[in-house]
Amino acid sequence: MLSPSMQEALNKQVLMEAQSSQAYLAMASWADIQPGLKGVTQFFFKHSDEERMHMLKLITYINERGGFAVVPALEQPTLTFVSLKKAFEELFKHEVKVSESINELVDMSLKEKDYATHNFLQWYVNEQLEEEKLARECNDKLELIGDDKSGLYLFDRDIMNMGGEGHGNKKH
């Protein structure tokens, strides 16, 4: 059984994952209307799907442990960005915030001696390491490219292969 405090904390994480999915969906829609960003658009759509899977995994866990997973109301995400670089800066900041939230949950699970939840959260810890690394790599590449249009073309073409072997194709 989950403690009431752990259930509440996990439900807050459900909200964060749902907001992440919506934020990346909005980024995908924005990228989709920019000329020449089809790879980036696919990347953001895929990322949105991944975040939704993270949310569903939490919902299943909460309910399986005798809690009640609450499907949250969501605020409107940012819809437009001044540049691709700004969109990826937002993505990185957001991933760092998610990592901090997961770390707080891990800390709470240890304090409550809830080792099942601690074990469950290790998947999220590892996932966030990958997410932050990928976001950092994207930002580094965009920094190198600057205003070079041919560099942006290559970035768009190669983005679906970034993030190491099979990132995003893992079973959730």
Q: Residues comprising the binding site for Fe cation?
A: 17, 51, 54, 95, 128
Which residue, among 97, 119, 91, 95, has the nearest Cα to 106 in the 3D structure?
119
CB of 105 closer than 8 Å to CB of 13: yes
d(CA 78, CA 152): 23
Distance in angstroms (rounded) separating the CA atoms of residues 172 and 162: 19
- Round to whole Å and give the CA distance between 72 and 91: 21
Residue 67 CA to residue 103 CA, distance in Å, equals 21
Q: Give the closest residue to 25 by CA, choosing from 100, 94, 71.
A: 94
Going by the annotation, the residues of the binding site are 17, 51, 54, 95, 128
Alpha-carbon gap, residue 49 to 108, rounded angstroms = 28
Cα–Cα distance between 38 and 163 in angstroms, integer?
18
